[in-house]
Amino acid sequence: MITLALSKGRIFDETLPLLKAAGIEVLEDPEKSRKLILATSNPQVRVVLVRASDVPTYVEHGGADLGVTGKDTLIEHGGQGLYQPLDLNISRCRVSVAVRADFDYASAVRQGSRLKVATKYTHIAREFFASKGVHVDLIKLYGSMELAPLTGLADAIVDLVSTGNTLKANHLVEVERIMDISARLVVNQASLKLKQAAIRPLINAFAQAIEQGSPA
């Protein structure tokens, strides 16, 4: 049995065409059921639904053989124990710095001010500001980062931006693009050795589907 860890939402939806290219269909819709283990058309493959930030942990410790996870999540996890054979080129977005429209970020940086930065992505933020020589106090949050500058909790946030609509709706502006993000396939290293015959064809089918540009 091969277990694939996915998170609900964009990653699940955009992985479906890749699975289809490998001849695998998920038999249940996670939006309609509360089930966490989903059967597929291949009796040897099942999907487990986990929180996005838990995908690398499941795969690292063998709770799943494979998983699909954003580069952002992978960097925060550290990637230890994970084989990363493919950039799936799905769930594309970016990690950016955003501030209130009336906050003069450029001047604050120029003057060497110490910035309060709220984020879920503390590794990415720490490394980015260190590379710029900007002193920051990081405030770890788990969601709704956009609220931090609006309430005075922070001067800036480091968050994912896709369409930019969430920033706009909260009167925030993007002032730095830190990195582009897409989802990666991660594989448990022991599984890769022990279940080679089942996992390799799956990786190859995904790779071929990406090359042909079939997924969203």
Tally DSSP H helices, then E strands, for the chain: 9, 11
Task: Fill in the per-residue mask, 31 to 70: x = in contact with ligand PRP (CB under 6 A), - = not in contact.
Answer: ----------------------------------------
Per-residue x/- marks for ligand PRP, 143-172, CB under 6 A?
Answer: x---------------xxxxxxxx------
What gap in Å lies between CA 33 and CA 103, rounded to an integer?
44
39 or 54: whose CB is closer to ligand PRP?
54
- According to the binding rule CB under 6 A, does residue 75 interact with ligand PRP? no
H, E, C per residue of 45-77: EEEEECCHHHHHHHHHCCCCCEEEEEHHHHHHH
**CB nearer ligand PRP, residue 122 or residue 166:** 166
Binders of ligand PRP: how many residues, by CB under 6 A?
9
Beta bridge partners of 95: 160, 179
The secondary element (H helix, E strand) that includes residue 191 is helix 189-194
Question: What is the chain's length?
Answer: 216
Q: How far is the CB of 164 from ligand PRP (least distance, A)?
A: 5
What does the binding site for ligand PRP look like in residue numbers (CB under 6 A)? 143, 159-166
